[in-house]
Amino acid sequence: MIISVPKEIMPGENRVACVPDVVSKLIKAGYVVQIEKDAGLNAGFTNEQYQKAGAKIIDNVTDLYSNAEIVFKVQRPVDHPAAGKNEIDLMMKGTLLICFTYVLHYPEIAKKCTEKEIDLISMDMIPRTTLAQKMDVLSSQANIAGYKSVIMAANELGKIFPLMMTAAGTISPAKVVIMGAGVAGLQALGTAKRLGAVVEVSDIRSAVKEEVQSLGGRFIEVEGAEDMQDAGGYAKEATPEFLQKQKETIFKHVTEADIVITTALVPGKKAPILVSEEMVKHMRPGSVVLDMATEFGGNCEISERGKTVKKYGVTIIGESNLPSLVPTHSSEMYSKNILSLIQHIGKEGKVTLKLEDEIVKGSLITHNGGVISQRVKDLIK
């Protein structure tokens, strides 16, 4: 089967869906791999590296899609400025598209795929099971995002992180508050601790308290907290009453912090507001808020998607695509996640979609001209 990998066209996206090392593994497994010219440059991978790995370099995007049986992408399909069509319209009937779509937020993509009879696997819908661990792109990319969030926030802060004793006096360590102890939050905790900060972590799932403490963080207890984790390992949507109680509890922690990093997302829902405008008003001048959820509404009431702004003397970073700022390693990890998926659903250069398979069942959104994901069906009725 022919796998095509286009250059990402979403503004600000520097990743590539397949790196040269994975290309050689796919070719060894019996696939033909085509890469759009310069697709990997922003991530640090040259056309020569792809050619050396055995890929064919295609200059024209229409040609790239015209014979593709499988398409690897990072971002969801959008209108292509050069081709004058949506990327889905460039694909032939029966193509298997594998990418991030966040289809619970963008159900129109599923509808368009059914119209064009494109089979869609949404990588963000891969079930969080032991078997699917190697394919878990949300975790691999969140790890990178958690690391980068601390580096960016530290860069904006006019203080250093560690305790430092000098002849000129003692410098107290920076105080970092992280909201959400998922993969991104725990990586942010580990990174901030390595830099020498004192770190406090808040989460609606009481089950993560031990993980936070094992990494050297202090867990912020919310009175009446319940276990807010679903069977898939995601945070459930909290009640307005619980969120209000959480805000009251963390007000003191947030307003005394040098840096606040928010990471809370609920699949298919608007991101919960965790840092109110009132909290920001009471933060120390020069402190920093980094909101990792701006693509889906934001956890900070006054953050702006894709922008770094100053309000009430506080720097608020609204970067919506942190993994794209570390494109080499993000691409390598994403590419290996897809390779693991292909190894699971394919054999000897051919992919077979077995609908009874747990991983296929969870991530396959459209198939043979119909929507097969019940959650997505409910959204587009």
Q: Which residues are catalytic?
A: 128, 133, 136, 139, 234
Alpha-carbon distances of 120 from 66, 149, 155, 202, 338, rounded to whole Å: 17, 31, 39, 36, 13
Distance CA 310, CA 73 (A): 35
Point out which residues pair with 198 in neighbouring strands: 175
Closest CA to 4 of 53, 55, 45: 55
Alpha-carbon distances of 260 from 109, 247, 286, 347, rounded to whole Å: 34, 13, 12, 46
Distance CA 240, CA 80 (A): 41
DSSP secondary structure of 70-119 = EEE-SSPP-EETTTTEEHHHHSPTT-EEEE---TTT-THHHHHHHHTT-E
Distance CA 338, CA 232 (A): 20
Give phi and psi for 67, each to the nearest 5.
-120, 10
The one-character DSSP state at 320 is S
Strands 314-317 and 288-291: parallel
DSSP secondary structure of 155-212 = HHSSS-SS-EEETTEEEPPPEEEEE--SHHHHHHHHHHHHTT-EEEEE-SBGGGHHHH
Point out which residues pair with 181 in neighbouring strands: none
How far from the centroid of its chain's Cα atoms is residue 31's Cα? 27
How far from the centroid of its chain's Cα atoms is residue 192's Cα? 20
